[in-house]
Amino acid sequence: MPKTLDGQITMEKTPSYFVTREAPARISAMSRDTKLIVVVRDPVTRAISDYTQTLSKKPDIPTFESLTFKNRTTGLIDTSWSAIQIGIYAKHLDNWLQYFPMGQILFVSGERLISDPAGELGRVQDFLGLKRIITDKHFYFNQTKGFPCLKKAEGSSKPHCLGKTKGRTHPNIHPEVAQRLRDFYRPFNMKFYQMTGHNFGWDD
């Protein structure tokens, strides 16, 4: 990490940090004051999104259903499959709380990042002790993309949406499979809501 000067904030983003066992100890050893931001979304949608991303690179992988279950008849879920494992947020958070207090971690709602990007980024700016520079006026909803986009990209006068790999169409998952996954995640989600003091609304 480069040294941060007064008035600067150094940021580093890697999706796998949150689920990497060694990450909290290593980051804490580097700087105990590091602020941590984690974007979380409904773990069922997250698993399907994860699968969709893998499928786009390896079209020959088995179906989502066959990877989800260890045993389809009993409904036993394969928790060793990373797409499932990553969504057990309470378990991963437990690991971080051994090294960082809750006040140093901000959980951003992936759903609200889409429905109210300025509101969610407002929380991020407050958490980082920044003035709320990014507001509603920076975004518009792009009907073609189906997502919010920036009215102007940084250093440009043109609108900017995230790339093609963000916001892919998900395959249809059998409702029974999705329901079984909802039931699986519910207790972990409840624990996560309790730990963070925030109901993300995935089980409403």
d(CA 93, CA 145): 32
Site map for ligand PPS, 114-133, x if CB under 6 A?
Answer: x-------------------
Please report whether residue 147 would count as binding ligand PPS according to CB under 6 A. Answer: yes
Subset of residues 34 to 73 that bind ligand PPS, contact rule: CB under 6 A = 49, 52
Total residues in contact with ligand PPS, by rule CB under 6 A:
11
Which is closer to ligand PPS, CB of 13 or CB of 21? 13
Binding site as annotated, residues for 3'-phosphoadenylyl sulfate: 41, 49, 166-170
Which is closer to ligand PPS, CB of 49 or CB of 54? 49
Please report whether residue 201 would count as binding ligand PPS according to CB under 6 A. Answer: no
Least distance in Å: CB of 161 to ligand PPS?
6
Q: Tokens 């909803």 — which residue? A: 141
Query: Stretches 29-37, 90-98, 128-136, 166-174: which one binds ligand PPS (CB under 6 A)?
Result: 166-174
Q: Tokens 């999104």 — which residue? A: 49
d(CA 31, CA 53): 33
d(CA 202, CA 175): 16
- The SS3 assignment for 147 reads strand
Least distance in Å: CB of 149 to ligand PPS?
6
Which is closer to ligand PPS, CB of 44 or CB of 105? 44
Please report whether residue 113 would count as binding ligand PPS according to CB under 6 A. Answer: yes
Please report whether residue 168 would count as binding ligand PPS according to CB under 6 A. Answer: yes
The 3-class SS string of 97-150 reads HCCCCHHHEEEEEHHHHHHCHHHHHHHHHHHCCCCCCCCHHHEEEECCCCEEEE
- CA 114 → CA 72, 105, 148, 157, 166, distances in Å? 34, 21, 6, 22, 12
